[in-house]
């Protein structure tokens, strides 16, 4: 068995429209409509499918809960630019920049929360 990459993940949210607004306005993702009106957030070659709490699609996680995710996104923009943009969007940065360990090496990260209070980490790879 060999896994190559992550195709998509699912976030269960209280309000799909508020989630779409945040992720497009603050993180620059694109809203995609698929299936029978389902919504997803697209970025790079991945996407985040959205499930409305109480109206999840089957099959689903055993205990889908808004606010339970902890996600790290990599960006090629400087964290200085990212911080300026996030502040302009009137979103609080709760920590950072701080050094962390990413999947393929060191990263420099900031942390914020989405409308459901999921923890979002935005990071730059650190080149040595």
Active site amino acids: 121
Please name the residues in contact with 89: beta carbons below 8 A apart, sequence gap of 6 or more: 25, 26
């Amino acid at each position: 068995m060999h896994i190559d990459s992550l195709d998509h993940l699912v976030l269960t949210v209280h309000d799909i429209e508020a989630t779409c607004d945040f992720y497009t306005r603050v993180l620059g993702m694109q809203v995609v409509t698929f299936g029978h009106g389902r919504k997803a957030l697209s970025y790079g070659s991945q996407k985040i499918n959205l499930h409305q709490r109480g109206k999840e699609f089957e099959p689903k996680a055993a205990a889908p809960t808004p606010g339970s995710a902890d996600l790290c996104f990599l960006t090629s923009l400087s964290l200085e630019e990212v911080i300026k943009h996030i502040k302009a969007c009137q979103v609080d940065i709760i920590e950072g920049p701080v050094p962390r360990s990413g999947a393929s090496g060191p990263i420099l990260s900031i942390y914020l929360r989405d409308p459901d209070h999921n923890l979002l980490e935005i990071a730059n790879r650190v080149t040595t």
